[in-house]
Structure 1
Amino acid sequence: MDPHAEHLIVHFRRAEAIKADSLAFKSHSLTPRQACDLEMLLSRAFYPLTGYLGHEDFESVLASMRLADGTLWPMPVSLDVPASLGETLTCGEKLALRDAEGFMLAVLTVAEVWRSDPEREARALFDVADPDRHPGAREHVQATRPYRVGGPVDGLALPPHVDFPESRRTPAAVQALFQQRGWRRVLGCLSEGLLHCRHRAMFQQAARDMAGSILLSHVAGEAMAGGAAHFAGVRCARHFAAAFPKNALLLNLLPLCVRMAGPRQALFEALVHKNHGCTHTLVALDHADPLAGATDGNAAPFYPPGAAQRLVAAHEAETGIVMVPETPMAYVEEKAQYVPAASVAPGMTVKNIDAAECTRRLEFGLDLPDWFTLPDVAAELRLVFPPRSRQGFTLFMTGLSGAGKSTLAKLLFVKFMEMRTRPVTLLDGDIVRRHLSSELTFSREHRNLNIARIGFVASEITKNGGIAICAPIAPYACARAEARALVAPHGGFVEIHVATPLGVCEQRDRKGLYAKARAGLVKGVTGVDDPYEVPQAPEITLDTSALTPGEAAQEVLLYLERQGYLA
């Protein structure tokens, strides 16, 4: 394969031969993160890489941000696979890389296989002593599979995208546009979240400083995984780009997996910008720091302020891309415009709306002023993220058997049906066990799987504006957290701990479950010989030994009203 080729996609005749031979290949289904990495590899956004790093290169990148031959490359691009696959692979064999639907995107020729060490890798990659403290490091530890595979890749096709295809350009296509427009000085800017008027002022200031145009690379992965937020983010980025003078900014969607690795991430992005034809790269003072922009004054940043700028600047001669420092901007009411924050004089009125406040205003239907965000962006956000009174939500009850969850759930179901504001679905623990999880046992693994299924169904109900009332025992904190993570991106998640004491639950014992457990007839009963992990911070705590069902239901309704879910 020519290392200077514009992509790693093989000729169609070669692709036909590979497909014919692929019946004998082992296969690996790519995760969303891995699909992004593969697309970046195949498009040559990760030039000079022609495949997944081998063990020596991988370790060298972790230790020195260089490949074993000395080439600057800060991010270890590797393929991690399950043990069931990694233990069977041998050097020289072919591994088909497939998307979630089974479509073969590329073939990896296995050069090396070795066991991963996620915690050690995370400490080196994110420069932290305790991976659990850093969200990116924690995700790396949790998501990494037991084995890594290295070797060259032959691409058959880029991952297909039916969403916004006209805005998804390969590096070669981006460079061609630069040439057509006569752009010789281009500033690469990466965006992952929403962009508002402050960002426009920062980009314009940076473009003026380096006397060039802007490539805005908006991170956009898999549409099906991102849901409504993905489409809203891209449409908002389009509105943002349209606010710039014609021929001043090019918006391009980039399938980059952002790992929030601070200075290392900034240098990595600089090389990606270089591979798209940029001459300059924009770097923030707290670039790729998970705590960038945090409102908690007690939270110290993970990386020293300015470290990312210094690292990228120190490698300018080698990378051929110039670091442009991001200028923090502030909106001054007296001037009715954004100015460099360093130029704000004493006595001036500075106004700001952070991400948390923006979310609060959307949730409660409050104003987003024009000085903060573009009107078209505000309209898009209100459309996709309606106020809480029009959002779906999930009530997730957890507690011992006999605590009163089912009784409360049925009562709330009736109350919501009487209100007629949203469709309502009751996911009672026993009903779910009978219809959705009938094949599962009561092992810890199967209990967690049962809760994951409930969480998925609840997320779909919430996403579509309905009310999901869930009433399982859900004894384990990790499973409850997973259910929250599934639902929360789409609407409200209200955890209700029905904290009725075990003694009261045993007295009720409508199913005779506790009696059988005490007699040794059944095993694994929560509260008897299997633990119940008490929720640490539920939204609502109810003890039905001290409350009637009607009083408990009223507590829930009052909470929902206070939080804006009930108008």
Structure 2
Amino acid sequence: MIHLTEPHGGVLKELYLSVEDAAPFKAKAQDYPSWDLTPRQLCDLELLLNGSFSPLDGFLNRADYQRVVEDMRLADGTLWPMPITLDVSEEFAGQLGRGDRVALRDPEGVLIAVLEVGDVWQPDRLHEARQIFGDADERHPGVFHLLHRTGPVYVGGRLYGIEPPTHYDFPQLRGSPRELRASFAKLGWQRVVAFQTRNPMHRAHQELTLRAVQQAEANLLIHPTVGLTKSGDIDHYSRVRCYEHLLTTYPEPTTALHLLNLAMRMAGPREALWHAIIRQNHGCSHFIVGRDHAGPGRDQFGQGFYEPYAAQQLIAHHQDELGIRMLAFPEMVYVRERAQYVPADDLRAGETMLTLSGTEFRRRLQEGLDIPEWFSYPEVVAELRRTHPPRRQQGFTVFFTGLSGSGKSTIANALMVKLLELGGRAVTLLDGDIVRKHLSSELGFSREHRNINILRIGFVASEITKNGGIALCAPIAPYTVTRREVREMIAPLGGFIEVHVATPLETCEARDRKGLYAKARSGVLKEFTGISDPYEAPEHPELVIDTRDCSPSEAAQRILLKLEGLGYIRGRSS
């Protein structure tokens, strides 16, 4: 473990061992219990090991975790707002005790670090959600992940870094805290303003950052998050190419671009404070905090999950404890009369404010519509158009869900024929029975196995969608959480249209050609959807169809009209 002290950063804890010190751990690693890291855990581990999460020296033990959740502090009183935990299964946790060592490996089995176990415990994740995110609303992506994708047991303990995770993309832009501090010192940058983003940067962002560095009389570090962000965000490959275009608009010797492999939680104020500490560890002297920093967007009522400037208020409250200064900025708006961006609170009476929301920007990209030059740079727009073409050129998935016998497969077959008639894209039908035969023949019908089967269907559909094809999926898919996982798997890659075939149970049972419902009623078939196992109806599908009211052909035509209205297909007359 290496401790470094530099201006603005305080003590930096690097947890990598020297080659000599790592050798005994590597030699014994085959004897340790082995845990394959999830994508989020791998992001967290990398930033623990390279010092981005200083002063942490491992995944939080129970006492640190509890105080972070309650008070945003470690057990010793140090300010730290985010629980950094290793979540595992009950089965894996059952073999661990204090002092045991665990081999932490990447998806290819490479040994990244060894964890010396301190504590093993079952947290109250619902309480954690309320404390960290301010709510337990599962529409918040951070809450959903915590409650449904996080292991039930946490393991804390000290880390011994063996080997940094490998990044084949943009290696020249992936500076560790130590490397950035050294680079700033070499360049003579004593004052550095950090700008955090998970989105492409446009003219408003460029104007905001220029004002920030002028105010602080400092240099600029554009420091985007390229780990896990919010589902639906533009991929980091496209974003980094956009950032590289934007760099040319700044005075050349004043600005640097580096990437941060952070798994965001979208935790609003707490996350903003966390981001500030991370940039402090990278040697920055100032940190820009704008409107709704690290917020996940709007809830079902169109309201933000956090107050617009709550993040600024929280950081200001703790400013004296931080080794980095906040630069608080309001929303930037374009004023037509002045032909420039200004802070929203500088708008004068009679002036015309022009705005383009993120939603409207994405709509214009999807439909191939004009994007005004006052909003973004032509090079940035061209890059985004190249990687995110209009909807009519994208692949998409139509995901049917409904009870057995509701008519899903029949409608899917009718729709497939109509789409083949239109032409232009390859069409693949992933019917529940067909997938069971060819991809999931070893699975039963327990809740766990049903989820695995649906996620396999989702994965295949995501690959078809990503490559411009059409996937028609027709499983029962009875569980809300699993359907949401499938949506989040596919939606960033193209279209996702959920169709609830809402034919009532009594109608489905009356149609039962295979006698499945009768077997379920008699107890021969266990865990049968609609009888002994629940069907959780979708709350907000793109389309609802009841086959009592229409034929398969009519239902397929309704879906075609929906696809045409969304812009994914063109009718023959278009």
TM-score calculated relative to the size of structure 1: 0.92
Which deviates the most, 151-160 or 498-507? 498-507
Q: What's the C-alpha RMSD, in Å, of the aligned pairs?
A: 2.5
Equivalent residue in structure 2 for 1:197, among 195, 203, 207 = 203
1:65 and 1:525, CA in 2 relative to 1: closer, same or farther beyond 3 A? closer
SS for the counterpart of 2:196 is strand
Question: What does 1:453-464 correspond to in 2, within 5 Å?
Answer: 453-464=456-467
Q: How far is the alpha carbon of 1:513 from its aligned partner?
A: 3.2
Match of 1:377 in 2: 380
Cα deviations by residue, 1:267-317 (Å, 9 ceiling, x for unpaired) = 2222211111111111224333334xx599x65544455443243234444
The answer to whether residue 101 in structure 2 is matched with residue 83 in structure 1 is no
Q: How far is the alpha carbon of 1:173 from its aligned partner?
A: 1.1
The answer to whether residue 401 in structure 2 is matched with residue 394 in structure 1 is no
Match of 2:54 in 1: 47
Q: How far is the alpha carbon of 1:11 from its aligned partner?
A: 1.1
Contact 2:13 2:55 in 1 (8 A): no
User: 2:534 & 2:118 partners in 1: Cα distance?
Assistant: 46
Contact 1:202 1:327 in 2 (8 A): no
Match of 1:542 in 2: 545
Q: How far is the alpha carbon of 1:6 from its aligned partner?
A: 6.5
Cα deviations by residue, 1:103-138 (Å, 9 ceiling, x for unpaired) = 11011112222222212222222344x454644234
User: 2:494 & 2:345 partners in 1: Cα distance?
Assistant: 39
Which deviates the most, 341-350 or 261-270? 261-270
Q: How far is the alpha carbon of 1:502 from its aligned partner?
A: 4.1
Match of 2:287 in 1: 281
Match of 1:403 in 2: 406
User: 2:508 & 2:67 partners in 1: Cα distance?
Assistant: 58
1:66 and 1:519, CA in 2 relative to 1: closer, same or farther beyond 3 A? closer
Which deviates the most, 22-31 or 282-291? 282-291
Which deviates the most, 545-554 or 174-183? 545-554
Contact 1:189 1:217 in 2 (8 A): yes
Match of 1:3 in 2: 3
Question: What does 1:71-110 correspond to in 2, within 5 Å?
Answer: 71-110=78-117
Match of 2:7 in 1: none
SS for the counterpart of 1:452 is helix
Match of 2:123 in 1: 116
Identity %: 50
1:485 and 1:512, CA in 2 relative to 1: closer, same or farther beyond 3 A? same
User: 1:418 & 1:402 partners in 2: Cα distance?
Assistant: 26
SS for the counterpart of 1:191 is coil
Question: What does 1:242-253 correspond to in 2, within 5 Å?
Answer: 242-253=248-259
Which deviates the most, 188-197 or 491-500? 491-500
1:72 and 1:531, CA in 2 relative to 1: closer, same or farther beyond 3 A? closer
SS for the counterpart of 2:472 is strand
User: 1:369 & 1:226 partners in 2: Cα distance?
Assistant: 23
SS for the counterpart of 2:549 is coil
SS for the counterpart of 1:445 is helix
User: 2:142 & 2:134 partners in 1: Cα distance?
Assistant: 11
Question: What does 1:129-528 correspond to in 2, within 5 Å?
Answer: 130=136, 132=138, 134-221=140-227, 229-291=235-297, 294=298, 299-517=302-520, 521-528=524-531
Opposite residue 161 of structure 2, the aligned amino acid is G
User: 2:402 & 2:437 partners in 1: Cα distance?
Assistant: 19
1:177 and 1:412, CA in 2 relative to 1: closer, same or farther beyond 3 A? same
User: 1:63 & 1:528 partners in 2: Cα distance?
Assistant: 43
User: 1:389 & 1:560 partners in 2: Cα distance?
Assistant: 10
Q: How far is the alpha carbon of 1:507 from its aligned partner?
A: 4.5
User: 2:201 & 2:238 partners in 1: Cα distance?
Assistant: 12
Contact 1:181 1:247 in 2 (8 A): no
Q: How far is the alpha carbon of 1:487 from its aligned partner?
A: 1.5
SS for the counterpart of 2:563 is helix
User: 1:407 & 1:303 partners in 2: Cα distance?
Assistant: 45
User: 1:327 & 1:280 partners in 2: Cα distance?
Assistant: 16
1:202 and 1:524, CA in 2 relative to 1: closer, same or farther beyond 3 A? same
Opposite residue 265 of structure 1, the aligned amino acid is E
User: 2:562 & 2:307 partners in 1: Cα distance?
Assistant: 42
Which deviates the most, 361-370 or 67-76? 67-76
Match of 2:33 in 1: 26
Which deviates the most, 469-478 or 346-355? 469-478
Q: How far is the alpha carbon of 1:356 from its aligned partner?
A: 0.7
Cα deviations by residue, 1:213-242 (Å, 9 ceiling, x for unpaired) = 11111101279x999823112222222233
What is the count of residue pairs matched by the alignment? Answer: 562
Contact 2:403 2:505 in 1 (8 A): yes
1:556 and 1:58, CA in 2 relative to 1: closer, same or farther beyond 3 A? closer
User: 1:533 & 1:350 partners in 2: Cα distance?
Assistant: 45
Q: How far is the alpha carbon of 1:38 from its aligned partner?
A: 1.0
1:195 and 1:431, CA in 2 relative to 1: closer, same or farther beyond 3 A? same
Q: Could you list the runs of 5+ residues in structure 1 that have no partner in the other structure?
A: none
User: 1:63 & 1:472 partners in 2: Cα distance?
Assistant: 43
SS for the counterpart of 1:219 is coil
Q: Could you list the runs of 5+ residues in structure 2 that have no partner in the other structure?
A: 5-11
